[in-house]
Amino acid sequence: MTDTKDQEPAEMRVDPARAKHLSSNISSILSRIESAKPSSGPPVRLVAVSKLKPANDVLALHSAPHNHLHFGENYQQELLQKSLLLPREIRWHFIGALQTNKCKPLAEQIPNLWCVESVDTGKKADQLEKGRAALCEKEKDYGGVPLRVFVQANTSGEEEKSGVEPEGAAELCRHVREQCPHLKLQGLMTIGAIARSKGAKEGVENEDFSRLREVRDQVVKELGLQEGDLELSMGMSEDFESAIRCGSNEVRVGSTIFGERPAKGDAKIKETVEEGKG
């Protein structure tokens, strides 16, 4: 296991032209988020999905003027490598499909893993619990901060999508709250069918998003919670504005910020930037 304690991020350079381009993109997204949310509504968290993009890009957005904190990754090894290169203040979100046997090392090896957004079984929650408990035991100065998790629900009914059936969400949420003391149930997450988002007429809600809102309300009722106790994480590059209008507290936007992704085999963890360019 890689020991992350006292790990100093490696020095990296950022290409000013690339940084300017990314800054413009994220500014546009933040503006669209503000326009989409109700004027009296709470802030909407933007998770910048940096999968298959170099750590230099993350550093560019984490630096001034944006000082962005929340970044999402789909692949465990890529996330681990970037977490070792980048400042520990970054709040990482794991948003990819989870394998049960990878959950414990994921939660244990990355102290600034802020949230896991794709929990769909009790076994995966249990392994994340073991990993975060081990981290808290190892890093006495860590403070025992719980690892946030979203329970992923498959609201679209698509077989290729992960997620617990909506009818099983309350049971899984109860399990996280009652059996996993080192985890914090942050809310519920879904990946909507893009075809529904693109096909929705003006003023018509995406049914996947409205379904997750219904699931959240049912979980709140069954567990005796308040609506504000559980967030909704839904909406990506193609449909985040629709998701916000449906009540999403968090959106996950990647390609609209970072551009088209390379093939996985061609991706670089760290770009080489020549002296004088960064």
CB 154 within 8 A of CB 162: yes
Q: pLDDT tens-digit profile of 115-152?
A: 999 999 999 999 999 999 999 888 766 667 899 999 99
| Residue-level pLDDT at 139 | 77
Q: pLDDT tens-digit profile of 168-221?
A: 999 999 999 999 999 999 999 999 887 776 665 566 788 999 999 999 999 999
Looking up tokens 């910020």 gives 257
Q: How many CB atoms lie within 10 A of CB 80?
A: 18
| Residue-level pLDDT at 217 | 97
| Residue-level pLDDT at 275 | 64
| pLDDT over 90 (residue 159) | no
Confidence of residue 8 (pLDDT cuts 50, 70, 90): very low
Q: pLDDT tens-digit profile of 238-273?
A: 899 999 999 999 999 999 999 999 999 999 999 887
Tokens standing for residue 38: 């109700």
Confidence of residue 44 (pLDDT cuts 50, 70, 90): very high
Peptide bond into 65 cis (omega under 30): yes
Q: What are phi and psi of 97, to 5 degrees?
A: -65, 135
| Residue-level pLDDT at 143 | 62
Average pLDDT score, the chain: 90
* Least confident window among 3-7, 227-231, 270-274: 3-7
C-alpha to C-alpha distance for 230 and 218, rounded to whole angstroms: 11
| pLDDT over 90 (residue 158) | no
CA angle 159-127-81, nearest 5°? 85
Taking the chain, what is the end-to-end CA distance rounded to the nearest angstrom? 33
Four-point Cα dihedral 190, 48, 67, 30, nearest 10 = -80
Query: Burial of 104 by CB count in 10 Å (0-12 exposed, 13-18 middle, 19+ buried)?
Result: buried
| Residue-level pLDDT at 2 | 38
Percent of the chain with pLDDT over 70: 90
Residue 28: CA count within 13 A, CB half-sphere: 11
CB 120 within 8 A of CB 150: no
Confidence of residue 3 (pLDDT cuts 50, 70, 90): very low
| Residue-level pLDDT at 201 | 59
